[in-house]
Amino acid sequence: MADVKDFKLPDLGEGLEEGEIVEWHVAVGDVIELNQTVASVETAKAVVDVPSPFAGRVVEQVGEVGEALQVGTVFLRIDLDVEGGAVVEDEPATLAATEASPAQGGFEAGAAAAAKSVEENAGLYGEVHQGEAGAKSTGLDADEEPQPLVGYGQGKGGARRRRRGGAAADAADDGQAQAAPVRPLAKPPVRKLAKDLGVDLADIAPGSGPEGVITREDVHAAASGGQGAQATAAATQTPASAPAPTAGVAAASAADPFAGFAGGGEKVVPGFRGRTPGEVEPIRGIRKRIVEKMEVSRREIPEATCTKWADLTELWELRKDLTEQARADGFDVKVTPFALILRAVVLGLRRFPTLNGMIDREAGEIRLHEHVNLGFAADTDRGLVVPNIKDAHGKSTLQIAAELNRLATAARDGSIGAGDMTGGTFTVSNYGAFGNDDGNPIINHPEGAILGVGAIEERPWVVQGELAVRRTCKFSLVFDHRISDGGEAGRFVTYVANLCENPARILLHS
């Protein structure tokens, strides 16, 4: 008799309402193991791999790739009684725990465990961490066995599935096993990027990353007409081993020397991150979160702006010395100008705390945060994300630099945890990294201010009455005028600029 269980989409973050299916890793009819990854799902915060709380045969997939499902709705049905196939041993406790009522921890416990699996089964496919805010993202090496899922229950030695049919089936298992096709190795954000650009990962596997992992660069190369890692391999072939072009290809090239150009003479090249004119993008996942946050900020916050130019020549030189000294002391940390600016911002927020505040309309209060969770805008293939350095007020310059690097790397490769992107109190936007001198950033609601940092470039500057060439940049502070008055906001940005012009003062407080 069939024993079909409904696997409901768990809350993979902190109060998330929906998730978009990026990729199914199983198909109807597949026999799956306990904790096996069944799908990659994009939430408003990250792309995560979802493990199954059941072992059995997949009988139904609810939802297509690209479809958004509400948290708590069924998105996979699994038959635990696999007729003529695998059965689960030593799992009555597991199933009982899963079938428990909500009061006994049923779906809530299962959802929490599924979210926890993201933390415990990180690997090549880019699962991300959930749980407490600020938890660091760590992953398993490619050759490590994933650990059992805490929360679903295991038999001794882990749940094992056995083929029905007695000795004959066992003999077949011990004999010749059919080789399954090898799934290309790539993290969920890379898989989503490949899907968006129409690139078949199987065509460019193995990738140029460690252990053949396909990287974003491989996908972009394939989308622009290259072959990623394969193109690199082909380039290393000797003339004798390299395949000769076919007569048809040579003839086509000779016949149409303008192949690859549009009718008006425009070279046909892929747009930024594979975008093309005329395409339509559904508002889902990260983009939906961005839309909602920007709309609320513009609708509710009466903002004002004040700016200040600063000479960062000394800061520019100091970061080199700090990096060299840190590495000489055994710390593999690169101290960037942005890390020093972040430390200066922390000092500024302690002196002018209203910039680190928020409005609670329901309570009719302005709350000044005791802690500084310093956010920074990160531009990724999936859109804008804003991770934050937890308790930055209690960290040294070196610690801020290390955490900045960790969070920026995790944001780019898609392994950023939901806890790393919630609870921010103030944000810094480094649009200078794109070569922009100035900007008007939007406050990250419900925060009370955001600081924009322009490009640090050599410009003419007056030093003691003489014209000189110095490395300068422009700070732009956008603040909620309900919380801070112009005088305090102006003093804050001037104070931060002065610290950056005299970076020894930053270290004095470290």
Strand partners, 388: 375
Marked catalytic residue, from 173, 360, 371, 481:
481
For CA atoms 139, 140, 141, 142, give the dihedral sign: negative
Q: How far apart are CA 46 and CA 126, in angstroms?
A: 10
Which pair of structure tokens corresponds to residue 52?
Answer: 């199954």
Alpha-carbon distance of 191 to 197, in angstroms, equals: 10
Amino acid letter for position 446: P
Q: Which residue has the tokens 């002391």?
A: 329
Residue 481 annotated in active site = yes
Contacts for 220-229: CB closer than 8 Å, 24+ residues apart: 220/193, 220/270, 220/273, 220/274, 222/194, 222/197, 223/197, 223/198, 223/199, 223/270, 223/274, 224/269, 224/270, 227/203, 228/204, 229/204, 229/205
- Please give the radius of gyration of the chain, using alpha carbons only, rounded to the nearest integer: 27
Token pair listed for 348: 């500024």
List CB contacts of 247: < 8 A, sequence separation 6 or more.
Answer: none
Instruction: Tell me how far CA of residue 274 lies from CA of 40, 44, 222, 291, in angstroms.
Output: 21, 21, 11, 21
Cα-based angle 498, 503, 507 (whole degrees, multiple of 5): 125
Residue 150 tokens read as: 């805490």
Q: Exactly one of 203, 321, 360, 485 is catalytic; which is it?
A: 485
* Angle of helix 216-223 versus helix 188-197 axis, rounded to 10: 10
**Alpha-carbon gap, residue 44 to 376, rounded angstroms:** 17
Pairing of strands 161-163, 457-463: unpaired
Query: How many whole angstroms separate alpha carbon 242 and alpha carbon 98?
Result: 57
> DSSP E strands: which ranges in 241-327?
303-311
* Residue 22 φ/ψ, nearest 5 degrees: -90, -40
Tokens of 37: 């990854």
| Catalytic center residues | 481, 485
